[in-house]
Structure 1
């Protein structure tokens, strides 16, 4: 309640009249004039009436106390089974807390659900950031406290000396059990790139959180889905692991530590390291027979690639040619055939026979050595011409054991457009070749092919009368390709518009050298943010759905849709981050969503230690929401008027606000209306009465 003045005359006039009245009153009292007191009261009442005093009374309503309840919805809250499941504990604790806060009408809970940074590459639990955002529009005086429902693994806990922006208790309700333990594995360091065939080292570490059993841990190491080693690791010790890069492209090294019985989660018992294999220089041996127009096309293609080391063995003068040239003028040096085909043959990534026929230049045992090279993992490409159908064909040598097609001895001399077979439209070597999808294909014609018996392997291109043109086959650990025509050079020369000779030859070479991107049956996955792209490459038809194993241990079926012949894909928006396993049929692959060193997966054991300093500083408490049996047990709520000065070990203190909101103001002029008129008349009448006597 307040009294204010609203003068009826200007303030200067009021002041002058008041001074004059005061002088008159003083003179009257000094001279002892009869009725001086009544005259003084009359002048004072007149001045008050002119000053117009007003009585004000405010109508205020008390404001509610805001209590922030921050709920941890990160992935670490998904661990545990049954009554020990942290998410179930969280839901029950939240429901109980809401019911208890509802008993206090002056308390307004503000519920905040905080996930683990879904749109970032390094997911983490940032509960204090969520708290700050939730209270950004609340005056500090109205904040009664903050209650965190979490497993305690919070990654943005501020420094204890940093101000929070309000002065109220902070409480922690901790999910999980007090005796939890967990074993996890991390890749500490490793190269991103490695030379194929060279040794690389990756360092990993097994980490035990909580009271884990003593002793070493067994770690299984897999490379590209195949287990290659088992190692014993002392927890907490950096363990180096050395391996040889087996192939170009992505190589996935997986470390899996054996789980412990009763540990919190097995989701972090695996770690992966992705290394891109790089071929330092591809070593190619090109063996040419008699000179022909296509020989230059092969040589130009191979020499144009700076990453190819080409050794070209060609016969310019067949043994049967006799022209009287002295032997010492036939060659500057003897060609090192023994060194190439016996001693160093395994150093080559690819051997190409281009229109070569057996004329006794290479001993017969060399062909057997080449066949063994293929069976042991080598790559062989045969570009055949008329010589392959003749009596001196290399198909009559021990090399025939690895060739997918045997010549009949006939040539098909007929113009044709090379076409893809049904398998060829799906095969990664020929799928999507420019100009292949029209009829006839948008490329030039060829004019002859070698006739062969029904081939083994896969016929992905065909010539005239649907005869085989390009045949691929696996032999032992190696691969063989046969191009049953010597006229691919017509495309390179631009005849009738040319054709995709460079793309075709390069894809053949890379398939022969077992590049993962050109495997007929392959399952790959890659992550872009939180979107997982699953790709299934096959030539066998619809592969069916893929099974996705989530980091939390759950599974999800993913429908694969055919995007182009032989290529099936699915895009999956994931709600989790971590290591995913994708399986389809006998194929599996691993992919990591988010950063491999994300804080969310470094520690999963529930803890009270992170919130304890802030609870102690603000007179709050940290309490586990469930006992050993899983029964929810929350502390009581204690409203406190004024600052919370003492912590209560059994109750959550909340500072109640004194803030109010103005709803309205009632005003009453004291000298207005009949009240003011009555006061003036009373005083004046008293003065007149006194004067009359």
Structure 2
């Protein structure tokens, strides 16, 4: 209860009147004038009435004590045992806190940040956000339900912003152990078919062992090695990058019975394969306009080493020209087709026919080169339909089509076949979607018997124009016309000869981007992007296996003929397995070295210093019998000076909220009137005497 004033006149007026009354009273007392005291009392009563004294009483209500309960729902907490412990402890805490009317629990469930590519457990950030609107004096303590693997623990209690205990209840068992594997050092780029070095390490957290662990190594899904790695020791590994483009190295360490999780038993490393200069052998049967188109294309690519020979004059032609004028460079047939044939990535026969320049046995060498993984392109002209065609040599064993002996001389638009519209070599060529195609016409094609492989382009009346085929481990392409140079010259607007020729060459050299059947996945931040390439029908949905072990279908939508894609924002990070039919691929979403997966064994050590400084309780929930041991809640008034080994202390707040104010004017109504009348009457009575 307090006394306040609400004067009817300004304070300086009251002070002036009081000063006058005091002067008069002083003079009266000095001259011994009777009634001075009564007059002074009456003046004081009038001044008090003008000051309007008020008796005020506040109506206040005590505020609740806020206790945030921070629940760790990060990926390291997603093992079934820890989920069960966390759920049981949370239910128990809610029940016990609800028994105290002045305690207000705030439940804060923390998952890995959806915006973070490197997930980590950041419980104290969540705590700060949860109590940002609460005065520090109202916070009675904080309770954490976690496995102890927290990555934003403050350096001291002062950084918390409040003075109250921080309690931590730890999930998991005291005897836990976990095995994991990490790639320590590895190159991001590597030259194809050259030795590369990396280093990996197997960790056994929670125990020490010198027993070697078995590590299976896969390259692009195929097993390439098995290693014995001593836990804790660095293990070197040498490998070769098999191809240009993206390559996925997968390391899987054998699981150990009883370990916390197998999520971190795998590690991957992405390495970009770089081809050294591709070696291409171009053999032209005779000078012609198409020869220059091939030569210009290959020479314009700095990554191609081109060896080009042109037969300027066939051996059967005798015109008396001296031998030293017949050729610029002798054709080293044995060196190219016997000794160094395997050094070439691609062999191109451009309008070439068998005229005795190459011994018949050499065609057999070329066929074997293809079967063992080589690449062969036949750019056919009229010679391919003649009696000297290379199709009647031992090379026929790998050719997908045999000539009928006919050459069609008529204008036609090269068109994509139904397979060609879906095949990555020809899919989406500029102008192919128009009818007729938005490119120039050709005027000659070589007729062949029904071919093997895929016919991706057709000539007049649906005759094969471009045929792609596999011959054991190698690949063969046949372009059954020598008129591609018309596009290069811009005839009737030209056509996409550069794209077409380059795609054919890269497909022959097994470029992964041009595989007919392929499943690819990549991650952009936390967005998973899946691409399925096929020349068949709808491949159906892909299946995504999460790091936590759960699986779910991922529908694929056709974005172009033969190209199906899907994107999805993932709520987990780590190593995902994507499968569709017989195809499977791996992709790592988020940072490869994310803190969340570096340690999965529960621990008290990380939170022990903060618990000791704030007088908090730190204990495991596990009671050793498959249940949990949950401490009681003890509210206390004032600062917490000592920790309790068996209870969670909560500091109750003294904060209140003002609900209303009761005001009583002392000189209002009859009471004030009576005092004034009494003072005036006393003065009048005294004066009357």
- TM-score bracket, shorter-length normalisation: over 0.9
**Counterpart Cα distance in 1 of 2:310 and 2:547:** 57
| Native 8 Å contact 1:209 1:603 kept in 2 | yes
Shift of 1:217: 1.1
Residue equivalent to 1:283: 279
Residue deviations 1:19-39 (CA, integer Å, cap 9, x gap): 454455566667777677655
Residue equivalent to 1:234: 230
Residue equivalent to 2:242: 246
Give the alignment partner of residue 399 of structure 2, picking from 400, 403, 410. 403
**Counterpart Cα distance in 2 of 1:575 and 1:8:** 69
**Counterpart Cα distance in 2 of 1:188 and 1:20:** 94
Residue equivalent to 1:53: 53
**Counterpart Cα distance in 1 of 2:158 and 2:290:** 77
Residue equivalent to 1:368: 364
Matched, 1:650 2:635: no
Residue deviations 1:304-346 (CA, integer Å, cap 9, x gap): 1121111001111211122222223333543332222222221
Equivalent positions of 1:219-618 (< 5 A) are 219-618=215-614
| Native 8 Å contact 1:183 1:212 kept in 2 | no
Residue equivalent to 1:67: 67
Residue deviations 1:164-192 (CA, integer Å, cap 9, x gap): 11111111122222221111111112222
Give the alignment partner of residue 615 of structure 2, picking from 609, 615, 619. 619
**Counterpart Cα distance in 2 of 1:350 and 1:536:** 27
| Native 8 Å contact 1:221 1:228 kept in 2 | yes
**Counterpart Cα distance in 2 of 1:652 and 1:128:** 19
| Native 8 Å contact 2:157 2:610 kept in 1 | no
| Native 8 Å contact 1:219 1:257 kept in 2 | yes
Residue equivalent to 1:136: 132
**Counterpart Cα distance in 2 of 1:205 and 1:138:** 47
Shift of 1:512: 0.3
**Counterpart Cα distance in 2 of 1:5 and 1:299:** 105
Q: Which moved more, 1:665-674 or 1:587-596?
A: 665-674
Change (3 A) 1:508 1:40: same
1:431 aligned counterpart, secondary structure: coil
| Native 8 Å contact 2:210 2:230 kept in 1 | no
Shift of 1:267: 0.9
- Alignment length, in residue pairs? 689
Shift of 1:276: 1.1
1:596 aligned counterpart, secondary structure: coil
| Native 8 Å contact 1:223 1:253 kept in 2 | yes
Shift of 1:481: 0.7
| Native 8 Å contact 2:517 2:532 kept in 1 | yes
Q: Which moved more, 1:258-267 or 1:601-610?
A: 601-610
Residue deviations 1:523-543 (CA, integer Å, cap 9, x gap): 001122222121111112122
**Counterpart Cα distance in 1 of 2:329 and 2:477:** 32
**Counterpart Cα distance in 1 of 2:5 and 2:571:** 66
| Native 8 Å contact 1:182 1:212 kept in 2 | no
Shift of 1:600: 1.3
| Native 8 Å contact 2:177 2:260 kept in 1 | yes
| Native 8 Å contact 1:219 1:255 kept in 2 | yes
**Counterpart Cα distance in 1 of 2:35 and 2:634:** 66
Residue deviations 1:387-436 (CA, integer Å, cap 9, x gap): 11222211222222211112222323333222222211111111111222
2:108 aligned counterpart, secondary structure: strand
> Tell me, which stretches of 5 or more residues in structure 2 are unaligned?
none
Shift of 1:46: 3.8
Give the alignment partner of residue 101 of structure 2, picking from 81, 97, 105. 105
Q: Which moved more, 1:298-307 or 1:157-166?
A: 157-166
| Native 8 Å contact 2:454 2:469 kept in 1 | yes
1:268 aligned counterpart, secondary structure: helix
1:97 aligned counterpart, secondary structure: helix
1:262 aligned counterpart, secondary structure: coil
**Counterpart Cα distance in 1 of 2:6 and 2:157:** 51
2:92 aligned counterpart, secondary structure: helix
Give the alignment partner of residue 206 of structure 2, picking from 210, 220, 223. 210
Change (3 A) 1:33 1:276: same
**Counterpart Cα distance in 2 of 1:481 and 1:168:** 77
CA RMSD of aligned residues (A): 2.1
2:141 aligned counterpart, secondary structure: strand
**Counterpart Cα distance in 2 of 1:644 and 1:692:** 72
Q: Which moved more, 1:315-324 or 1:16-25?
A: 16-25
Change (3 A) 1:162 1:319: farther
Residue deviations 1:144-167 (CA, integer Å, cap 9, x gap): 111112222111111126521111
> Tell me, which stretches of 5 or more residues in structure 1 are unaligned?
none
| Native 8 Å contact 2:381 2:480 kept in 1 | yes
Change (3 A) 1:161 1:337: farther
Give the alignment partner of residue 175 of structure 1, picking from 144, 151, 171. 171
Change (3 A) 1:433 1:7: closer
Residue deviations 1:623-679 (CA, integer Å, cap 9, x gap): 223423332332111111111111111111111111111122222221232212223
**Counterpart Cα distance in 1 of 2:488 and 2:42:** 123
**Counterpart Cα distance in 1 of 2:11 and 2:460:** 116
| Native 8 Å contact 2:67 2:142 kept in 1 | yes
**Counterpart Cα distance in 2 of 1:564 and 1:496:** 28
TM, length-normalised to structure 1: 0.95
Shift of 1:522: 0.4
| Native 8 Å contact 2:209 2:231 kept in 1 | no
Shift of 1:130: 1.0
Shift of 1:138: 1.4
Shift of 1:50: 3.4
TM, length-normalised to structure 2: 0.95
Change (3 A) 1:16 1:489: closer
Shift of 1:688: 6.2
| Native 8 Å contact 2:157 2:613 kept in 1 | no
**Counterpart Cα distance in 2 of 1:31 and 1:217:** 115
Equivalent positions of 1:104-123 (< 5 A) are 104-123=100-119
